[in-house]
Amino acid sequence: MILQNKTAVIYGGGGSLGGALAKAFAAAGAKVFLTGRNIGSVQKVADEILVSGGSAEVDVVDALDEKAISSHLEKLVQHSGSVDISFNATACKVVQNIPLITIAADDFMLPITHMMHTRFITAIAAGKVMMKQGSGVILSLTATPGGIGYPYTGGFSPACAAIENFSRNLASELGLYGVRVVNIRSGGSPDSAVFKNAIESMPEAMAPVLKGMEADTMLKKLPLMADIANTAVFLSSDMAGMITGVTVDVTCGTTAGLNYRAAKGAL
């Protein structure tokens, strides 16, 4: 129970990854406050946490609404006394799998502006609260394209790079106040909704895609949502108290170098 008595707020808590994070935080002892625009999906995750003996509450909060975010955090502080963990797990649609020279400017810019906008306002709102209390952890999530050149990823790649840079800069400003800011870079989880939906709708097309992604990694496999959630739990705990201003790579080694040429028996 390494997050015992800590309060965690999750934006996009009704999504597959947001839900996995919420359950992991709750299992580690945190009081979890899930938010989202769809109360039904968020409540479903909260109910599962409550059934398992954890603590969870829900609220409808648009993670692009600055006033709603601030009001919710004020209510949370009044209710629990502090905000110890903030994680924005919201997502947006991204146009990918086409060359940059053919993508429309609006399609390219959408993930950059959308993802940075919501992460900026949620992180800044949490940062203001955490500065006053002298502690807290602000977490974010990116993917492999944030660390290497990755073709046909459209605006998603620069969006990831921007989030990682923002996380570092925010950490450099908030560290004086005892607040840590850490980003997690995932290699893509095949058990997440986006992958599962693609596999179900296009099984023949997705099989070689997943095989290729696995081949690109050093471990020859992809991280599951539980791997990302476990990393987030650790980074939120006092055991990671000296970690800030970095992106923790959970890509199974992909961004350290594409390893599709390496195979067992070759050495």
Cα 221 to Cα 27, 182, 188, 227, distances in angstroms: 26, 24, 10, 12
Name the band, by pLDDT with cuts 50, 70 and 90, for residue 255.
confident
| DSSP run (H or E) holding 204 | helix 203-215
- Decide if 29 contacts 55 (C-beta within 8 A): no
3-state secondary structure of 61: coil
Q: For the segment 144-193, what is each residue's pLDDT rounded down to a tens digit?
A: 999 988 889 999 999 999 999 999 999 999 999 999 999 999 998 999 88
- Position 262 scores a pLDDT of 47
- Decide if 114 contacts 219 (C-beta within 8 A): no
Q: For the segment 127-156, what is each residue's pLDDT rounded down to a tens digit?
A: 999 999 999 999 999 999 999 888 899 999
Is 97's pLDDT higher than 90?
no
Q: For the segment 12-62, what is each residue's pLDDT rounded down to a tens digit?
A: 999 999 999 999 999 999 999 999 998 999 999 999 999 999 999 999 999
Return d(Cα 258, Cα 220) in angstroms, integer: 11
- Position 156 scores a pLDDT of 96
Mean pLDDT of 207-211: 90
- Position 14 scores a pLDDT of 93
Which residue is it, tokens 């309060």? 7
Return d(Cα 117, Cα 123) in angstroms, integer: 10
Which contacts (CB < 8 Å, 24+ apart) does range 230-234 have?
230/24, 231/184, 232/21, 232/24, 232/25, 232/87, 232/139, 232/184, 233/2, 233/3, 233/24, 233/25, 233/28, 234/2
Average pLDDT, the chain: 93
Is 259's pLDDT higher than 70?
no
Mean pLDDT of 60-79: 96
What residues contact 106, with CB distance under 8 A and at least 6 apart? Answer: none
Mean pLDDT of 92-102: 92
